[in-house]
Structure 1
Amino acid sequence: MSDIIHHECGVVLVRLLKPLEYYKTKYGSARYGLHKMYQIMEKMINRGQDGAGIATIKFDAKPGTTYLDRLRSIEPKATQDIFGQINNLFVNANVNHPEEYKSANWQKENIPFLGELMLGHLRYGTFGKNSVHSCHPFKRQNNWMSRNLVVAGNFNLTNVDELYTHLVELGQHPVEKADTVTVMEKIGHFLDKDNDRLFKKFKEQNDKNFEISKLIQANIDVAGILKESSKRWDGGYV
């Protein structure tokens, strides 16, 4: 963190490339990714003292299990508050299931926030009230895995009213005008469109619905979605 710090939120992304069991064997804990996330967010604390948040995604989750967890806080030491709550989940699991806890796979299936992809955010408020609802990451949930969306960033858009109006013209009902919510719903609109396109394509090939879900996840055009979503954005965003 040698760059000059201005009024910018902090964003952290951690993606584990190996199974959780690998990290448990090598480093003694399946929480290697969470530990790294905490360390980085603490180092970036001067980027935002108005709140913090983290979202975790579990890969290859079985139907009927949660694969997306999120926690946000506006406590004075928000990062410590978040990871303290997460740590308590592991402590309780170890106390109640000491034998099962030895397995990294069991931890992943039974303890929230233990996943392969983590997104963290430190908020420097430039818009909206200082409430937990203003903290990133924001999420847009759906029963179809490929329609879920988690967004965190450093946004300072100058045409939020225009973007909001465009969402209404598309037929949506935005619940607020915050730039992050507007950005998320714009991305979500084109995410839905690409899902619909791919579903129709694979359905015409007589693929079964369960197979189509996997095919959509493998073929969705993320770059194209972001390109279409950002055409009307004006201002600064990361």
Structure 2
Amino acid sequence: MTLQARLDAFKADFEAGKPPYNVPPAVIETMHRATAELIASGAAGRALKAGDRAPAFTLPDPDGRPVSSAALLAEGPLVVSFYRGVWCPYCNMELQALQAALPAFEAVGAKLLAISPQSAPNSRKSARQNGLAFPILSDAGNEVAAAFGLRFRLPDYLVELYKSLKNDLPAFNGDDSWTLPMPGRFVIDRDGTILYAEVNPDYTRRPEPEELLPAIRRAAEAAA
């Protein structure tokens, strides 16, 4: 089953209120409203695109060790996935799919890492829960996400919904900004040029990891 098929199946069960979710229709309507407004805002169109320069960054891994994009790019192309957090089932399914694709990425010399605004303990949970063998980095305040054009603030009505659902982003992330990244995937060449960019304001839509491989192979061939 493809990643998107898995996401669609989960979404259908969740929005139908099937056990164990039992989500009221009003909750689904509010989530749809927020997604529609983010799409209409045009925010995704302002994110970095293929051909742009990727901002350099250094972020801590779950053990507090700094991980530098420049150091990783010195070794080969870099695949970067921005995700919302361990509390997001769509993100967890995408992380699992990326883990399954990791050998294919590594076979052509690429490194893979994922970035979220969550705190180190929650990043450790992400890695453990999803069986990940690639770095999970903490982007406090979504500062690096903002540099890529992905950060947005949740509207007040969605903040209130999250609070009612006990989805406490300040607790997950260690800051009270109530911001998230739009999910985004980037392939960055060794010189810092973005070769592939996919950003979707609808968090239930994610590209198949295999879609990144042509850009990774181009980078590998150019370096050979």
TM class, shorter-length: under 0.3
Indicate the structure (1 or 2) with the bigger Cα radius of gyration.
Answer: 1
TM-score (norm. length: structure 1): 0.23
Question: Which has the higher relative contact order, 1 or 2, with Cα contacts under 8 A spaced 6 or more apart?
Answer: 2
